[in-house]
Amino acid sequence: MAIKKQNVFIGVDLGATNIKFGLVLPDGNILLERKSETEIHRGVNYVFDKVADFTHTLADYAGENYELKGFGIGVPGLIDTRKKELVEASNFPDWRDIKIGYELEKRLNLEIYIDNDANLAALGEYAFGAGRGVTEMLMVTLGSGVGSGLILNGSIYHGSKGAAGEFGHIIIQQNGPLCSCGSRGCVEAFVGKNAILRRMKEILQQDTESILKNHNPTNMTPEDIYFAAEKGDKPAIRLFKEVGESLGVGLGNIANLLNLERIVIGGGIANAGDLILNHARKVLSENALKTNRESIEIVKAELGERAGIVGAAKLAMMSLN
């Protein structure tokens, strides 16, 4: 009697710097991971050929023990999920109206499922990480920019044109600092990496007691600020308090608008943990209506860099239902 093979899925997280691949089981566990430089300067076809080559490697590993049932991929930028196309992406400046689904399907002879990378990171956390057990969730990723993905009624919310979920560009201060998008006062202009480093330099010009006062400002990182805060450095602690409060203003607006159950915070900046999140919780609680503040919680992401891989795989899993 033939033994029934276990289903397995491929999840790919395509970034401007690296491509991450995973062979993922239905419970979210990853059997095999691979990572490669994207090398987008070598052109679209080169990148797609690389994705196909690594996919074949994962499929070969699955071998006779598993049945490959689907392929999902997350890509930064505006995605037309119906056409499986990348419309545009700031991290891929030469990629416009790229038929990702078509290009990969002809190379792999597999049906391809595609979505925005932040949406799939949110889906990964929702299905297998810090979002388990809820149906209404926002994931916010704090890094160089502020990415986000919105899960409503258990599904990714895309909006009318696929551009929903841009939490980082909600304006929380009219005529505030200039954001990378060109507007002023966006959440990202207060809590993104560049904003944090800019603000730390301003603080150090006013406060010479910080242990960071002799640190070369051109080489400073958020990690340096975090380590200083962990040692009790008051200026560093004050900075993370400001970041948390700004984050909380934006999240309070989201809580009132959507009555979410959970907000998941990920990304490198989130490694500061409660130095940021406790202040975000406090401000959200002060700004949100009673029902909204009582029904929501802010938690740290659990999956790290793997969220995009398992989220892409989950997208493929959902296509079988």
Q: In sequence order, what DSSP letters do the residues of 208-238 get, joined into one string? A: TTSTTTTS-GGG--HHHHHHHHHTT-HHHHH
Report the alpha-carbon distance of residue 230 to residue 225 in Å, rounded.
9
Strand order in the sheet with 78-80: 78-80, 85-88, 96-98
Q: What is the pLDDT of residue 49?
A: 96
Give the residue among 286, 204, 299, 282 at the shortest CA–CA distance from 243.
Answer: 282
Q: What is the pLDDT of residue 181?
A: 87
Mean pLDDT for each consecutive 10-residue tract of the chain (321 residues)? 80 94 97 94 94 94 89 94 91 89 94 95 97 97 92 95 92 93 94 93 85 87 94 94 97 96 95 95 96 96 96 94 71
Q: Which domains does the chain have, with CATH numbers?
A: 6-124+306-318 (3.30.420.40), 133-301 (3.30.420.40)
Number of alpha carbons in the 13 Å side-chain half-sphere of residue 90: 4
* 139's tokens: 């994931």
For the entire predicted model, the pTM comes to: 0.93
Cα angle 66, 67, 70 (rounded to 5 degrees) comes to 125
Q: What is the pLDDT of residue 120?
A: 97
Q: What is the pLDDT of residue 156?
A: 96
Q: What is the pLDDT of residue 2?
A: 55
Question: At 116, is the secondary structure helix, strand, or coil?
Answer: strand
- CB atoms closer than 10 angstroms to residue 271: 15
Q: What is the pLDDT of residue 217?
A: 78
